Structure 1
Amino acid sequence: MFDFDYEALRAIGLTQYLINQLHALAEPPRPGSALMRIVEVQRDHLTVHDGHGERQARALPRLTAMLQAHADALAVGDWVVAETHAGEECWIATRLEPLTQLARRANDGRRQMLASNVDTALLLMGLDLDYNPRRLERYLALTQAAGLEAVAVLTKADVGDAVEQRMAELHARLPRRIPVLALNGQDASAREALAPWLGAGQTLVLLGSSGAGKSTLSNTLLMAEAQLTGGVRRGDGRGRHTTTARSLHCLPGGACIIDTPGLRTWRPDADETEVAASFDDIAALAGRCRFRDCRHRDEPGCAVRETVPADRLLNYHKLLREARRGQQTALERKAETAKWKAIGKAGRARGEEKRR
């Protein structure tokens, strides 16, 4: 029988869904094994938590190989079964299937895991030079495609520009179901504003660019200086990447929060259907277009173009292109690149011919 301290593990996010998986494992855990949660991933080791404390561990090669075969990898937030071998070394032998996974696609199409078993994504954007509604829409579309609840959090409300105007812009632009909050990440009132999502057993992830205030907000919620913070550049408001690794922290109220490094790019780890579904206003209007197969580009009688702001529609088409590219194989991406090179070359040749 595999024993574990339910109350201690529940405090770091253990749910009945995960317990059911544990009892259904094809191979029962070895005697002396322990159920743990990954709280940090480094290149040469992982940090795991058993509900009482942290320790370093490594993944067994067979587990790593099995995950890689399915374009998967261990991530912060994963629940694992760890074994203690000779020399008191801790080895991760099994990963429980995540309820949710947040990932992105690299330039070569590989999946890069960001976090697992997350309930809510706090999408941070500063009310200074960091303000960018299109980037917030991108984060929203991709977190919703991963099955996460999302909350738009505008930081630096105490020093930001045109706070009320920008709040009104986002309320009009984003789906009504998405909460939009403006707060000062250094003030205790931030804990009160986010209280509905900080229930015991909940796991949140902070996402945003460098300098958006993720680590500052983490420290405020933790009521401790757990994460390093830094200033932003005067010219463009960007941060200096004080957070270099994703890490999970336990809040005093029983919730867990995952802080992440600033995201420079975030290509969709979702197909076109999943991305399109996150733009529910466009999906609702599409039924009123004149043509059933309207692509919302230059077709006459397009209800989407008549109603949706051009900037939001441009963002929609860009995400669909990236999602389509992310699903291609390396050979398909190579063929598409060659096709567009040929088209460009032919266009230049026609231009030169006209000039002659």
Structure 2
Amino acid sequence: MIDIDFPTLHGIGFKQHFVSQLAAALPQHRLARVTSVQRDVLILDDGRESFPARSPRFVNAGHSVVGDWVLVTHGLGEYWLDHTLEPFTQLARRTPSGRQVLASNVDTALLLMGLDNDFNPRRMERYIAVVRASGVEPVMVLTKPDIGTDVEERMAQLRQRIPDDVPLLHLIPSEQMDAGVLAPWLGRGQTLVLLGSSGVGKSTLTNALTGAAQATGGTRHGDDRGRHTTTSRSLHRCPGGACIIDTPGLRAWQPDADEEELGMSFNDIAALAEGCQFRDCRHESEPGCAVRGVVDADRLQNYRKLLREVRRAEQTALERIAERGKWKVLMKEAKQRSRDKRSG
């Protein structure tokens, strides 16, 4: 087994979870964490220094993501990836081409949203669903309170809409020169990931907290959408010992979740549903519904939309074909009834 410098490695997020996986490691292995991925080259950090490692053809570097812990060996004047340790969390989303892992071994996700035209409660709920399905704790962070509109009203709206078990903060990213309101999540050995639209302040906050030199940019006039200044994920170390993973703005956010995991993000609806008259209540027009009229109507509608996405993602190709066929029959029958009614 390799020699492990626990205090140094803990400073970049190493946890007891990984120790058992190192039993088969060889003395020549070097343990490090992935801080960025550039095609077949990984940039690694072992707590003392940063260095590159290459991926052999039979080991796909694309399978290692920012935040992973890896074992590398030295040969031919370079370090080579040999093994990726099983992560304790994986932040992932579903895409049309399959499951995409965004970052690994994350404790907390700071979900950034601007109090300007970027403000969108439905998107925040989607962020929370993605994060909780991945086993990561969410924290809502509202930015641009100095230039936003209806700031107090919007903050109250979000707090009333989303259960209290998700913390809500507001800050100006460029002014976070120390931990400040983020102190509870920036302890030594903790790893945070920043998620949000382009231009919301993710890279600015990373720079302020870590002293990094991430490129930052403004937003477009009219909709306050960013210009995708950050193009890849990267891990940075804070002076206090936490690690922060900065990410590009992502437009497609489909949770990598099943119905039960989605329910974790809408636990207020799940709790109220226990009082519904019918066990299979859809909270639409059924009598005796304990949810409708209590939960924010737009939040309930957003839940239904996410639930449809999750159910569809869990269907096999044959089940999707069968469902399309069912709807075609229903539409055909509806059109026929309409024609019969007009002709009668």
TM-score (norm. length: structure 1): 0.90
Distance 1:334 1:62, change over 3 A: farther
Tell me if the contact between 1:325 and 1:333 (Cα under 8 Å) persists in the aligned partners: yes
Tell me if the contact between 2:18 and 2:85 (Cα under 8 Å) persists in the aligned partners: yes
Question: What is the letter of the counterpart of residue 19 of structure 2?
Answer: I
Distance 1:59 1:349 in 2: 61
What SS is found at the alignment partner of 2:82? strand
What SS is found at the alignment partner of 1:303? coil
Distance 1:343 1:189 in 2: 60
Q: Which moved more, 1:296-305 or 1:114-123?
A: 296-305
Tell me if the contact between 1:183 and 1:190 (Cα under 8 Å) persists in the aligned partners: no
Structure 1 residue 139 corresponds to structure 2 residue 127: yes
Deviation sequence 1:167-199 (CA, Å, 0-9, x none): 111111111121111111111367301111100
Distance 1:227 1:3 in 2: 34
Runs of 4+ residues over 6 Å off in structure 1? none
Among candidates 56, 67, 86, match of residue 77 of structure 1: 67
In structure 1, runs of 5+ residues without a counterpart are 66-71
Question: What is the letter of the counterpart of residue 14 of structure 1?
Answer: F
Distance 1:334 1:59 in 2: 40
Pairing 1:66-215 to 2, within 5 Å after superposition? 73-85=63-75, 87-108=76-97, 110-188=98-176, 191-215=179-203
Question: What is the letter of the counterpart of residue 162 of structure 2?
Answer: L
Distance 2:304 2:187 in 1: 37
TM-score (norm. length: structure 2): 0.93
- Give the structure 2 partner of residue 303 of structure 1: 290
Q: Deviation of residue 335 (structure 1)?
A: 4.0
Structure 1 residue 52 corresponds to structure 2 residue 48: yes
Q: Deviation of residue 322 (structure 1)?
A: 1.1
Equivalent residue pairs, number = 343
Amino-acid identity (%): 58
Distance 2:228 2:140 in 1: 21
- Give the structure 2 partner of residue 69 of structure 1: none
Question: What is the letter of the counterpart of residue 20 of structure 1?
Answer: S
- Give the structure 2 partner of residue 332 of structure 1: 319
Q: Deviation of residue 5 (structure 1)?
A: 2.8
Q: Deviation of residue 306 (structure 1)?
A: 2.2
Deviation sequence 1:20-40 (CA, Å, 0-9, x none): 3222xxxx2334211111111
Distance 2:95 2:339 in 1: 37
